[in-house]
Amino acid sequence: SYVLTQTPSVSVAPGTTATISCEGDNIGDKSVHWYQRKTGQAPLLVVHGNTVRPSGIPPRFSGSNSGFTATLTINSVEAGDEAEYYCQVWDTSGDPSVVFGGGTKLTVL
Amino acid sequence: QITLKESGPALVKPTQTLTVTCSLSGLSVSTSGTGVGWIRQPPGQALEWLAFIYWDDTERYSPSLRSRVTITRDTSKNQVVLTMTNMARKDTATYFCALMRRTDAFDYWGQGTLVTVSS
């Protein structure tokens, strides 16, 4: 089965840039989605289709995907961005199935 | 406004069957191109996908849980139901339902329901 690997934790200072990676075999050929999960809240879709921000998501959030790594970038990080971030794809190598990465905890120092 | 709301027992005993229901409002579960999935998150662990059902009743299951999980739609009630058999303590988690539309991402989520497995 397809595996998505994320760095468990990232720490950045407010106002700087956070880079959260998601690695998978030829992930560049897939459509990657990113979710923000704050404690006590439902997950929130922040990027879909590798680069598209849903309505209401600030432009500080951006995504990219190439080769073996997809990346979520958060510019001018704010305290309110502290959360877990998960990448997700559909694995269509057999019966289609949804795959989530293991999550990255973003800490704003 | 599209909303999803999960409901089900807060506590189940080991070996019992769990049934959780997702009630959708603002959109029909029969809307072409849409689907509803179930995802769970055990305490301190990552999101884990369980199952998915499309508007045309096509079902998809996590390979690791396929033998224990069933997903169904009730179009008359606009609900999607997940059943999971032979519950164990490791199945303690918050269970979410989420809506997928033409983007193939989960763009609306319920608030989740915490299910604890304990005798």
Inter-chain contact B106–A1, Cβ cutoff 8 Å? no
**Confidence at residue B78, expressed as pLDDT on a 0 to 100 scale:** 96
| Tens digits of residue pLDDT in A35-68 | 999 999 999 999 999 999 999 999 999 999 999 9
The CA distance from B58 to the nearest CA of chain A, in Å, is: 11
Identify the band that residue B102 occupies on the pLDDT scale cut at 50, 70 and 90: confident
Residue A49, Cβ density class (10 Å: 0-12 exposed, 13-18 middle, ≥19 buried)? middle
How far apart are alpha carbons A56 and B8 in whole angstroms?
31
Is the pLDDT confidence value at A8 over 90?
yes
User: CB of A35 within 8 Å of any CB in chain B?
Assistant: yes
Average pLDDT, chain A: 96
Q: How far is CA A30 from CA A63, A85, B46, B74, B107, in A?
A: 13, 18, 21, 32, 18
Chain A residues touching B61 at Cβ < 8 A = 95, 97
Inter-chain contact B47–A95, Cβ cutoff 8 Å? no
User: CB of B46 within 8 Å of any CB in chain A?
Assistant: yes
Taking CA B53 as the corner, what is the angle to CA B107 and CA B14, rounded to the nearest 5 degrees? 100
Please compute the mean of the pLDDT values over residues B76-104 and round it to a whole number: 95
Identify the band that residue B103 occupies on the pLDDT scale cut at 50, 70 and 90: confident
* Residue located via tokens 């662990």: B45
User: CB of B96 within 8 Å of any CB in chain A?
Assistant: yes
Please compute the mean of the pLDDT values over residues B82-108 and round it to a whole number: 95
What secondary structure, in 3-state letters, does chain A show? Answer: CCCCEECCEEEECCCCCEEEEEECCCHHHCCCEEEEECCCCCCEEEEECCCECCCCCCCCEEEEEECCEEEEEECCCCHHHCEEEEEEEEECCCCCEEEECCCEEEEEC
| Tens digits of residue pLDDT in B38-74 | 999 999 999 999 999 999 999 999 999 999 999 999 9
**Confidence at residue B44, expressed as pLDDT on a 0 to 100 scale:** 94
